[in-house]
A and B are shown apart, each in its own frame.
Chain A
Amino acid sequence: MADETPKAAQLLAKINYTPQAKQWMDVPVQIRKGMYCYAGNPKSLEYLGFPNARQWNPVEEDWKLPENWQQILHEGFKERLERFRSIKVFMDICVRCGACADKCHFFIGTGDPKNMPVLRAELLRSIYRNDFTTAGKLFGKLAGARPMTLEVLKEWWYYLFQCTECRRCSLFCPYGIDTAEITIFGRELLNLLGLNIDWIATPAANCYRTGNHLGIQPHAFKDMIDFFCDDIETITGLKPEPNFNMKGADILFVTPSGDVFADPGTYTCMGYIMLFHYLKEKYGLKVTWSTYASEGGNFGFFTSHETMKRLNAKMYLEAKRLGVKWILGGECGHMWRVIHQYMDTMNGPADFLQEPVNPITGTKFENAKSTKMVHIAEFLADLIKHGKLDLKPERNDNKILTFHDSCNTSRGMGMFDEPRYVIQNVANHFYEMPANTIREQTFCCGSGSGLNAGENMEQRMAGGLPRANAVKYVHEKFGVNMLACVCAIDRAALPPLMQYWVPEVQVTGLTELVANALVLPEEQERTTDLRGEPLPGMEEADE
Chain B
Amino acid sequence: MGLIEQLALQKQTIVHKWFARVIASYPAETARFLSSQKDPFANPVGQTTRQSLTTLIELLTSTPDAAAMRAALDPVMRIRAVQSFSPAQAMGFVFELKAIIRQELPAKELTLAQWATMEQRIDQMALEAFDLYMQCREKIYELKANEMKDRTYKAFAKAGLIKEPADE
Contacts and interface: CB of A to CB of B under 8 A. Distances in A.
A220 B45 contact: no
B159 A224 contact: yes
B147 A457 contact: yes
A470 B28 contact: no
B36 to A, nearest CB: 9
Contact of B79 (A32, A465, A499): A465
Interface of A: 17-19, 21, 27, 30, 32, 34-35, 101-102, 107-113, 116, 214, 216, 220, 223-224, 227, 261-263, 266, 434, 436-437, 453-455, 457-458, 461-462, 465-466, 469-470, 473, 496, 499-501
B146 interface: yes
Q: Which of B28, B29, B40, B140 has the most CB of A within 10 A?
A: B29
Given A223-B160, A434-B41, A466-B44, A112 B27 contact: yes
A261 B158 contact: yes
B39 interface: yes
A466 B41 contact: yes
B150 A457 contact: no
A470 B39 CA distance: 12
Given A18-B25, A32-B84, A462-B83, A457 B143 contact: yes
A455 B144 contact: yes
A90 B146 CA distance: 41
B33 A101 contact: yes
Contact of A108 (B44, B144, B154): B44
A438 B89 CA distance: 33
A455 B145 CA distance: 9
B147 A496 contact: yes
Nearest to B42: A436
B24 interface: yes
Given A113-B30, A455-B144, A263 B43 contact: no
Contacts of A461: 82, 140, 143
A437 B146 contact: no
Interface of B: 24-30, 33-34, 37, 39-45, 48, 78-79, 82-84, 89, 92, 136, 139-140, 143-144, 146-148, 150-151, 154-155, 158-160
B159 A111 contact: no
B158 A224 contact: yes
Given A109-B44, A109-B83, 7 more contacts: A21-B27, A102-B43, A108-B44, A216-B155, A457-B144, A458-B82, A469-B40
A284 B154 CA distance: 35
Contacts, number: 115
14 contacts: A32-B84, A102-B42, A108-B43, A109-B44, A111-B84, A112-B84, A214-B155, A261-B155, A262-B150, A266-B158, A461-B143, A465-B82, A496-B146, A500-B143
A436 B29 contact: no
- Secondary structure dominating the interface of A: helix
B34 to A, nearest CB: 7
Contacts of B148: 454
B28 A21 contact: yes
A263 B150 contact: yes
Nearest to A34: B140
Nearest to B159: A220
Contact of B45 (A216, A223, A465): A465
A227 to B, nearest CB: 6
Given A19-B27, A19-B28, A214-B155, A465 B44 contact: yes
B103 to A, nearest CB: 15
B89 A17 contact: yes
Contacts of A501: 78
* A-B residue pairs, 3 tightest by C-beta: A454-B147, A469-B44, A113-B29
A465 B75 CA distance: 11
A116 B29 contact: yes
Contacts of A113: 27, 29-30
A111 B83 contact: yes
Contacts of A216: 155, 159
Contact of B41 (A220, A436, A496, A499): A436
Contacts of A469: 40-41, 44, 48
A111 B45 contact: yes
Nearest to B84: A32
Nearest to A105: B44
Q: Which of A21, A111, A263, A501 has the most CB of B within 10 A?
A: A111
B49 to A, nearest CB: 11
Nearest to B43: A108
